Amino acid sequence: MQDQIVFEDNHLLVINKKTGQLVQGDKTGDLSLLDLLKNFLKKRDQKPGNVFLGLVHRIDRPTSGLVIYAKTSKALSRLTQMVKNREIKKTYWAVVPKVEIPKAQRLVHYLQKNEKNNKATVFPKVTQGAKEAILNYEIIKVLDNFQLLEIDLETGRHHQIRAQLAKIGAPIKGDLKYGSPRSNPDGGIHLHARKLEFHHPVTKENITITAPVPDNDAVWKACEETKNLPF
C-alpha cells in the first residue's frame, strides 16, 4: 500500500488507485481500498484500536488515479462540504480514439442514471429526472491511433466523463459500456484521475497533487512522455 500513497499528513491520505480497485465496499463483497488502508495503517502505526478513515469522494472501479481519504472526523466533514461546494478541482486524463473533435470544448449535457444497468443516459437538453453535467476538455497529445484529453470537471455526475465523451463520438479506450469497440486486457478503462487542487481542510494551505499514470501500460506511458500539443 505504501507505494500508492502520494500524500499523507495527520488529517489526509491521498491514494493513487490502481485500475480495478474498489474505493469502498459494494455488493460484490470484494476487499476495498478502504479496508486495505485501514489494515495497513493499523499495522504500520501499531494502533491498538480501530482506525478511523473516511472516504471523501469516489472514482469508478475501472478508473485509476487520485482518491482522498480523511484520517480525522474534522477533515472528513470539511472535505465532504468542500466536495458539495465544488471547492476541490479535479483534472482527469482520458485516452480516446483519434476521431475528429474540436481541440478544446465545453460540454453541457443532462445525465440520468439507470440503476438497472448502472449506466448514464445522456440528453442534449433539460430533461425530467436528468442532472446537468458540465466538463471542459482539451486535446494535449495525439498518438498513432489515440489522442489524450485533459478534462476539468465542473460537476460530478455518475459516469459523467465516460458518458459525455461517448456522446460526442469519442468513447474512452476500453470502455465497452459506453461504446469502445474492445476491452483492455486488465478490464479497466483509460481514464485517470490525474490531479487534485484544493485548500487543506485544517491548515488551509494550497494543495496540488499529481498522480503518475499506470506504469504497466504502453499507451499511458506514451501519453506521459510528453504533453506538448501536436498542432
What is the pLDDT averaged over residues 113-134? 92
Question: Residue 210: what residue type?
Answer: T
Cα–Cα distance measured from residue 35 to residue 31, given in angstroms and rounded to the nearest whole number: 7
pTM of this prediction exceeds 0.95:
no
pLDDT digits (tens, 9 = 90+) for 46-55: 988 889 999 9
pLDDT of residue 209: 97
138, 149 Cβ separation under 8 angstroms: yes
Cα–Cα distance measured from residue 175 to residue 182, given in angstroms and rounded to the nearest whole number: 8
pLDDT of residue 227: 55
What is the pLDDT averaged over residues 191-214? 96
Confidence band, pLDDT 50/70/90 cuts, at residue 1: confident
Confidence band, pLDDT 50/70/90 cuts, at residue 228: low
What is the pLDDT averaged over residues 217-223? 92
End-to-end CA distance of the chain: 40
**Domain-embedded: residue 184:** yes
Dihedral sign for Cα 213, 167, 89, 27, please.
Answer: negative
Cα–Cα distance measured from residue 98 to residue 216, given in angstroms and rounded to the nearest whole number: 22
Cα–Cα distance measured from residue 197 to residue 209, given in angstroms and rounded to the nearest whole number: 7
What is the pLDDT averaged over residues 23-35? 83
> What is the number of domains present in the chain?
1
What is the pLDDT averaged over residues 135-151? 96
Q: Which residue has the higher pLDDT, 182 or 24?
A: 182
What is the pLDDT averaged over residues 81-106? 96
- Res 226 pLDDT > 70: no
What is the pLDDT averaged over residues 203-222? 94
What is the pLDDT averaged over residues 150-156? 93
**Domain-embedded: residue 41:** yes
Distances (CA, A) of 135 to 38, 92, 151: 33, 10, 7
Cell numbers linked to 153: 470537471
**Domain-embedded: residue 230:** no
**Domain-embedded: residue 12:** yes
pLDDT of residue 225: 80
In what helix (H) or strand (E) does residue 80 lie, and over which residues does it extend?
helix 73-84
Q: Report the CATH number at residue 62.
A: 3.30.2350.10
**Domain-embedded: residue 231:** no
- Res 93 pLDDT > 90: yes
Q: Which of 40, 32, 55 is nearest to 1 (CA)?
A: 40
Range of the domain at 37: 2-225
- Res 59 pLDDT > 50: yes
